[in-house]
Structure 1
Amino acid sequence: MIASMLTKSRLSNTFIVIILWLINGCSTNKYQHQELFEKYELIQKIERGERFNHLLVSNRTSGKKLHIYLEGDGVPWISRYKISQNPTPYNPLALKLLLQDRDFALYVGRPCYFELHQSKNCTPQQWTNGRYGHDVIDSMEKVIRRFIRSTEVEQVIFIGYSGGGVIASLLAERFQETQLLITIAANLDTFRWTNYHDYSPLDLSINPATNIEAMSVPNIHLVGANDTIVPPELTKDFIQKLGGELILFPDYDHQCCWHENWSDTLDSIIDQQHGFQSR
């Protein structure tokens, strides 16, 4: 009887431990950005833009040449019919690219992302149908201009991943300091992209494919051959309209494997671009 009670007690205690482990596992932070900030000792601050607050993260304090990284759309929806309450990406791929950058680099958070979704002027519009809207672009432009002035930057390369590539293409046209635009797996024609997937239209957003007559800055677009989120043909059609160069990565998809060997990939692209400009 006593042995039976001890066995039940041990089983009960084991069950409690398992439950606590599951609870703790479920409650651990699923967002990777904070861990990356701490691990790599990045410089972080919150800056006010035109209407929104933005997280700014940099790998150093100054430099004449600046690489600006813009993140993807994160989690705008948690299901086809339910809007997310926090659009922050679980896997901040653009941030991981910055970590490999050998040059002065800045990560500019989008409005209402990174625990700012409850701050002033934030509504789901900023991460759903208005995610590339005028208010978003204007606000990001303001914080970037302030940063450039404060650091005396002379040359800028915009680097945008996925939806961040849409924003990068719109911002790059606004800065005389822009030397190059690089997009990665970017849905540059937002109208065609939403139609392709039968997504809700981004009717409060700017579509680069119809709002820019021709790209005025050198632009290179990296696409994965296995990308089903932004298929290569969508990017090819965009380039036929507005110009630019496409680089196809045979074994890549929408997420894999952009952050692998990024520093070498970026250096190669920049060296190639400088060689082209000098000819």
Structure 2
Amino acid sequence: MLSLLPGGCATDLDQSADALAASHGLTREVAPGRGFNHLIYRRPALPAGTDEPRGIHVYLEGDGRPWETRHRMASDPTPKNPLALKLMLRDPAPVLYVARPCYQGFAHAEGCRPALWTRDRYGPEIVQSMVSAIDRTLPPSERPPITLIGYSGGGVLAMLIAERLEGVDQVITVAANLDIDAWTDHHGYSRLTGSLNPARQVPLDPRIRQLHLSGDRDREVPPWAIERFRAVNPDATFKNISGFDHRCCWIAQWPRIPGEALLPSPR
């Protein structure tokens, strides 16, 4: 059964995530979560006296490379092409990138095991640690409204984190497999038995705005594969973009595609 577990999305990368972040002036730090450490990138604070937007955009990466082949789990799932990071680099708002447990150099850290990036990749242990890392990085007492932005599997985590994290104002997902059972069934993979499925969770508080973006040419997550999620989230907004697939052409068009929905609402 393990040989049928889904992989992830990966392509060649011309720079490591650290080099890419540093070349765009992002700071790097490590934040403790619940039992795991998380790599954090963020844009330094604006100079004193600058009119700073009230909200912050928190970016969550895709699944990377959970499997080397259909029969061999990866020793390190870190994506070679961190698309969410590349989206973040084009975002003029205050931004924060939060890596998952065991990603970005921590694959062999204490507590890490292949199940955490295969069948349990969206499980409670992952979600709770990411919530804890964000809480430590953005203390609730100092926290601006948060927009969670997740690419692919990061969109799954964005939905699961949103209901557990104080101060979330909106969730934006890009090419996200929001019904993980329909997604695994479509590809003939074994289901992710240790993971939470957004399509089977109670709807988010309607005060948390949702925008879910998909491409009409996406074969990894076909638009029809999230119909059950749509049915249980009637207050969400869904946009299917003509000519886009799972990777193209989000970076080139970011952040124009989400438009006004990407901007934090005034409070």
Task: Quote the offset at 1:247 in angstroms.
Answer: 0.5
Across the aligned residues of Structure 1 and Structure 2, the Cα RMSD in angstroms comes to 2.1
Aligned equivalents of 1:270, 1:187: Cα separation in 2: 20
More relative contact order, 1 or 2 (CA 8 Å, 6+ apart): 2
1:53 aligns with 2:63: no
**Which amino acid in 1 is paired with 2:78?**
T
| Other-structure match for 1:83 | 73
| Other-structure match for 1:246 | 238
Long gaps (5+) in structure 1: 1-27
Tell me if the contact between 2:163 and 2:204 (Cα under 8 Å) persists in the aligned partners.
Answer: yes
Task: Quote the offset at 1:191 in angstroms.
Answer: 1.1
**Which amino acid in 2 is paired with 1:229?**
E
1:43 aligns with 2:27: yes
Q: Deviations over 1:209-233 (max 9, x none)?
A: 11x2212122110000000000001
Long gaps (5+) in structure 2: 1-11, 47-51
Task: Quote the offset at 1:207 in angstroms.
Answer: 1.0
| Other-structure match for 2:5 | none
Q: State which drifts further: 179-188 or 229-238.
A: 229-238
1:236 aligns with 2:220: no
TM-score, reference length from structure 1: 0.83
| Other-structure match for 2:86 | 96
Aligned equivalents of 2:192, 2:13: Cα separation in 1: 30
Q: What secondary structure sits across from 1:229 in the alignment?
A: coil
Task: Quote the offset at 1:130 in angstroms.
Answer: 0.5
Q: State which drifts further: 217-226 or 150-159.
A: 150-159
Aligned equivalents of 2:259, 2:43: Cα separation in 1: 17
The counterpart of 2:119, out of the listed 120, 125, 129, is 129
Task: Quote the offset at 1:48 in angstroms.
Answer: 1.2
Q: What secondary structure sits across from 1:226 in the alignment?
A: coil
Q: State which drifts further: 87-96 or 233-242.
A: 233-242
Q: Deviations over 1:123-176 (max 9, x none)?
A: 001100000111101100001011121882220000000000000000111223
- Give the length in aligned residue pairs: 247
Where do 1:1-279 residues align within 5 Å?
32-61=16-45, 64-149=54-139, 152-210=142-200, 212-216=201-205, 217-243=208-234, 244-270=236-262, 274=265
Task: Quote the offset at 1:30 in angstroms.
Answer: 6.3
**Which amino acid in 2 is paired with 1:61?**
A
**Which amino acid in 1 is paired with 2:91?**
D
Tell me if the contact between 1:236 and 1:246 (Cα under 8 Å) persists in the aligned partners.
Answer: no
TM-score, reference length from structure 2: 0.86
More helix by share: 1
What percent identity do the matched residue pairs reach?
A: 37
Task: Quote the offset at 1:242 in angstroms.
Answer: 2.2
